[in-house]
Structure 1
Amino acid sequence: MVDKKKVIWLLSAYRSDSHAAWADGLIASFRNFDWFKLELSGRHFRWRIRGNPLSWIDKIPAEQPDLILATSMVDLATLKGLHPQLANTPCLYYFHENQFAYPISKQQHQSVDPQMVQLYGALAASKLLFNSAYNRDSFLKGVDQLLKRLPDEVPGNITSRLSIKTEVLPVAIKRIESQGEKNPQLILWNHRWEYDKAPQVFADALVKLKKLNIDFQLALLGVRAEKKPSYLMQIENEFNDQIIINEKVSKLNYQKYLQLSSIVVSTAIHEFQGLSMLEAVSAGAIPAVPDDLCYQEQYAEEFRYKAGDSDALAEKIIHYFNIRPAAPDISQYYDEALKQKWNDTLRE
């Protein structure tokens, strides 16, 4: 007699590139489970994080699953309240990010709503999974700070109640094998061109390199808005001769440029796991990362520079050109290292 597969609902309220790769990868990797997936497209952030129970109100099956795996964009508390059959269903709440440590741009309205969604969702979940210790710690610290600002009738044990349910379980990456010779002068940028990645720091560092007559080339990848941001235009105007690629490319070409690049740079002011950096490092690129965020637990001090300091970044790149250190070992983030832990977590 064949054992019945465990039924898991995967709920993802914001299908951005990284969330999509995570969801699709889990389903492809763990065919020993019976998956049901509900997703919403990665746009209209504030509507998504508050509105997903309404968007899904007629799409939730009547049958009760064995387990719910929901991202922290899902308003899990409201969802369970609208569907009483889910009241006792075990729920894993997966934090790709947390709204307590998310930088707000000048164009965004400051609101406590996204934080409250995640707080109530965390209280409603059986276990809280985080892709990094930084993500976990900044979430718990943010919850504690929020509760201290509330006027009255706040239980004193909320943060400790959440803390005992936490576990760090990173998103697994597929290793990109290094192939052939690298371009020793090629610097890679493979991030979104948005405020939370602080690309102006990158642009300012390149200006310093140029003033010092450093010979370098650029691979500029990553998603960019329809309206080209000023910092990207600055780089295009000032470093046109150094740019060998400047567009979001196919997956195959993306891997090719990662394999070709010698140095990969992050200037992020928001990063909870840094998948694009891990992918580039897996292909043999040397990382230059801020001494901040999740990077402190991933990379030794020799690969970090003072956060937000373009001069320090330029100096780090020059150091790499002179010393050529080996890329760090990040094998603990590979599929083969994490697959068993993910399987065990989903089987609990």
Structure 2
Amino acid sequence: MSLLIIEAFYGGSHKQLVDLLQEELEDCVLYTLPAKKWHWRARTSALYFSQNVPISEQYRILFASSVLNLTELVALRPDLGKLKKILYFHENQLVYPVKKYQERDFQYGYNQILSCLVADVVVFNSVFNMESFLTSIGKFMKLIPDHRPKDLESIIRPKCQVLYFPIRFPDVSREHDKDPESFFKVLMHLKGLGLNFHVSVLGETFTDVPDVFSESRKALGSSVIHWGYLPSKDDYFQVLCMADVVISTAKHEFFGVAMLEAVYCGCYPLCPKDLVYPEIFPAEYLYSTPEQLSKRLQNFCKRPDIVRKHLYKGEMTPFSWAALHGKFRSLLTTEPREDL
């Protein structure tokens, strides 16, 4: 168990990644907390893990997501501080959208900056995630009223690299930041035009579910094929394989596992021309306004053969575990530092 994996938010893509690593890499051990109330995980999980991860001389590498306050953990557990510490960013709190500004929000981004300073390697799941984080550090730290730290971006950047989220594609995920209001507004417009379509709304819910979900489910009525979380991955992929189009209306996205899984299952993607999407998808699959999205969907409803005959023009291979496993193995099986 030379590789110690700690995941403070064990759900969604966080769970998918560490489960994959544990299955594919030898000699590793995983410690987790359930994916509930991420604010509290970010605040307090370091103390929990400091008391619940056994002391062992076998550990050589520590891999954790950026939900964990790595600085607190290595201060509480100096033995873990001696390991090669790898921090993985699924998302970053410097540019993550919040419903309303609250003064305590500063702490989440600040904790991630501190974690980067004590980490040996900082890994991001996309160039968009990395650059949005690094280039926001200076502005973010100006929120401190005086005696501000300096040059943090130049200290952290040399540690950083991009390793796309590795997806194990089959043989054949929160709420307000995904902007469900825009999604359902477009669907209700299509229904109002009398266009024929069916919709499946898939995904895991963690705590608060916006009212628009229940209201829209009722309004869409017989157009709904499936609604809600599918615990079986096989069932999930089966629903994707039945679909023709997959839509994102996200206000924020740092990678987009679900969109790529849907494309692999044959769906035509429609994504905002923003965020990480231009990094992942060719231009023809991007839209700039809700009106553009609605117009394209109206066309697809009238001519479903357009998408059913379409062959995806982007690349899928760079995001597969088959393509990325060598880089992850290299990162997570490096020889220990000489001072251990």
Q: Same fold (TM over 0.5)?
A: yes
Q: CA deviation at 1:339?
A: 0.8
Q: CA deviation at 1:55?
A: 1.0
Q: Give the distance between the partners of 2:130 and 2:80, measured in 1 at CA.
A: 26
Q: Give the distance between the partners of 1:241 and 1:89, measured in 2 at CA.
A: 55
Q: Give the distance between the partners of 1:244 and 1:44, measured in 2 at CA.
A: 30
Q: CA deviation at 1:105?
A: 2.2
Q: CA deviation at 1:141?
A: 2.1
Once the two structures are superposed, the pairs formed by residues 183-198 of structure 1 within 5 Å of their partners are: 191-192=173-174, 194-198=175-179
* 2:42 is the counterpart of 1:49: yes
1:264–1:288 Cα contact (<8 Å) kept: yes
Unmatched 5+ residue regions in structure 2?
Answer: 335-340
Once the two structures are superposed, the pairs formed by residues 229-268 of structure 1 within 5 Å of their partners are: 229-249=210-230, 250-268=232-250
Deviations 1:127-164 (A, max 9, x none): 10001111101111221211233344434321011111
Once the two structures are superposed, the pairs formed by residues 121-140 of structure 1 within 5 Å of their partners are: 121-140=115-134
Q: CA deviation at 1:70?
A: 1.2
The 1:160/1:310 distance shift into structure 2, 3 A limit, reads: same
- The equivalent residue for 1:182 is none
- The equivalent residue for 1:17 is 12
Q: What is the one-letter code of the residue matched to 1:314?
A: S
Q: Give the distance between the partners of 2:24 and 2:277, measured in 1 at CA.
A: 27
- The equivalent residue for 2:338 is none
TM-score (norm 1): 0.87
Q: Give the distance between the partners of 1:135 and 1:38, measured in 2 at CA.
A: 25
The 1:116/1:155 distance shift into structure 2, 3 A limit, reads: closer
Q: Secondary structure at the match of 2:51?
A: coil
Q: CA deviation at 1:108?
A: 7.1
Q: Give the distance between the partners of 1:226 and 1:151, measured in 2 at CA.
A: 34
Deviations 1:1-36 (A, max 9, x none): xxxxx70110111112221111111010112xx212
- The equivalent residue for 1:77 is 71
Q: Aligned match of 1:117 in 95, 111, 135?
A: 111
Q: Secondary structure at the match of 2:161?
A: strand
Q: Give the distance between the partners of 1:17 and 1:203, measured in 2 at CA.
A: 22
Q: Aligned match of 1:212 in 189, 193, 200?
A: 193
Q: Give the distance between the partners of 2:209 and 2:83, measured in 1 at CA.
A: 46
Once the two structures are superposed, the pairs formed by residues 151-230 of structure 1 within 5 Å of their partners are: 151-178=145-172, 191-192=173-174, 194-224=175-205, 229-230=210-211
Identity, % of aligned positions: 29
The 1:239/1:333 distance shift into structure 2, 3 A limit, reads: same
Q: What is the one-letter code of the residue matched to 2:293?
A: L
Q: Secondary structure at the match of 1:129?
A: strand
The 1:56/1:300 distance shift into structure 2, 3 A limit, reads: same
- The equivalent residue for 2:53 is 60
Deviations 1:243-297 (A, max 9, x none): 1222322322111101111100111112111111111111111111111111110
TM-score (norm 2): 0.89
Number of aligned residues: 326
Q: CA deviation at 1:106?
A: 4.4
